[in-house]
Amino acid sequence: MGDVYIVGIDMVKFSKTAGVGPEVLGAEAALNALEEAQVTIRDIDTLYAGSVFSMNIAQRVQKQLGQTGIPTASVSNACATGATAFREAMFSVKAGAAKIALAVGCEVMPRGLLGGAGDSEGITTEGLMGSATMPAVFGEAGQEHAAKYGTTFAQFAKVSVKNHHHSTMNPKSIYQKETPLEEVMQSEMIAYPITKLMCSVNVDGAAAAVVMGEEEVKRRGLMDRAVRVRASALATDPFQTRNPMMHDVNSVTQLAAKWAYEQSGLGPEDLDLVELHDCFATAELLHYENLGLCGPGEAGRMIDDGETALGGRIPVNVSGGLLSKGHPIAATGLANLYELSCHLRGTAGARQVSGARIGLAHVVGLGTVSAVHILEKAN
């Protein structure tokens, strides 16, 4: 079976909505993706739609698009939901069960601080068994790196400076504002070393992709806009004694990345750009090493030297990342594929990574699961 291609992909501009259902956001992205792929819902053989906070999202999205009786299923896989929905759509095509498949990720987020289950045996455990809030979990993850390599608060904060700067060139990002280093470090401390400006934005949004096999792409004359899927990998966290007292986003990312590099026959040196899971600024530095963009302990130097800024050796999160573009959980895994596709097609505008041919998209959700995709320019 030949390669699978993305032929239509879109994300809605992320924003804080009021009273809009996630299925409406998902359908908006889906309709744009369908149009770009020059198909309608009547051409779609299967639909996978994901949402972490809403139930039955696939059938709800379907009712916004057209009830054609096709198989649909809802996907829930923490922050890897969008990427998993994409992967399922891709597998349907690879298996020959679908000629054309649609994947959607959409989310209307609950407001406020996100945290793990805080109740046990009748009392809340927040502030008792440490903190299960996301900023604290990623604060601890960052501090583990600091303990091992001396990474500083300022180095973590530089990630926000870079990604906020990138987002000023992304019209679909919710925030498009420069934030100098002092402003990032002096914004409200949430869980040291994570300040408010080092947290991903709680925002609503959606993204969708239409996928086809090589034969269908050629038959329809769509190779001009097609993006080839070189690898799709999904991994969960191997057992470790510290886990899940201390969630580990490292080993699972390393595993998904290893499989993606093996599948594609490519290595980190072949990548032109990376969209990785900067749910908090600390996470981005960990993932430089986890994805093999640099060696162990070198992430601090990478951010200091500007290697991961637009124009640098390996641009990371030129979309603005989750930190400024936003993180509607189920949309993110498809939104980063959208970003890569823009660059591979040469339509990324002011933030275009020049000559981009190969990109890597990464997500990781606590529990813990990570997806890595590698996309390649097809034409």
Is 186 a binder of another protein (CB under 8 A)? no
The answer to the question of residue 110 lying near another protein (CB under 8 A) is no
**Residue 294 amino acid letter:** C
Whether 106 is catalytic: no
**Shortest distance (Å) from residue 16 CB to another protein:** 19
Does 154 bind another protein (CB under 8 A)? Our answer is: no
368 touches another protein by CB under 8 A: no
Distances (CA, A) of 286 to 18, 146, 148: 35, 10, 12
Output 190 or 309, the one with its CB closest to another protein: 190
- Figure out which of the listed residues 54, 72, 143, 332 binds another protein, where binding follows CB under 8 A: 143
The least CB distance from residue 279 to another protein, in Å, is: 14
Q: Is 141 in the site for another protein (CB under 8 A)?
A: yes
* E strands, 200-334, in order: 205-213, 227-236, 273-275
- Helix (H/G/I), strand (E/B), else coil: 169: coil
Q: Taken in order 215, 221, 224, 226, is the CA torsion positive or negative?
A: negative
Q: How far apart, in whole angstroms, are the C-alpha atoms of residue 299 and residue 301?
A: 5
367 binds another protein, rule: CB under 8 A: no
Tell me: does residue 116 bind another protein (CB under 8 A). no
Kindly name the residue from 164, 166, 327, 373 that is annotated as catalytic.
Answer: 327
Active site residue 79: yes
According to CB under 8 A, which one of 42, 96, 123, 221 is a site residue for another protein?
123
Residue whose structure tokens are 């050629």: 218
Residue with tokens 């700067």: 165
Helices 329-345 & 81-94, crossing angle to 10 degrees? 60
Closer residue to another protein, CB minimum distance, 141 or 174: 141
Contact 85, 50 (CB under 8 A): yes
Measured CA to CA, the distance from residue 36 to residue 73 in angstroms comes to 23
Tell which positions 305-364 bind another protein, by CB under 8 A: none
Q: Which residues are catalytic?
A: 79, 327
Residues that bind another protein (CB under 8 A): 113, 115, 118, 120-131, 133, 135-137, 139-144, 146-147, 153, 188-194, 239, 241-242, 244-246
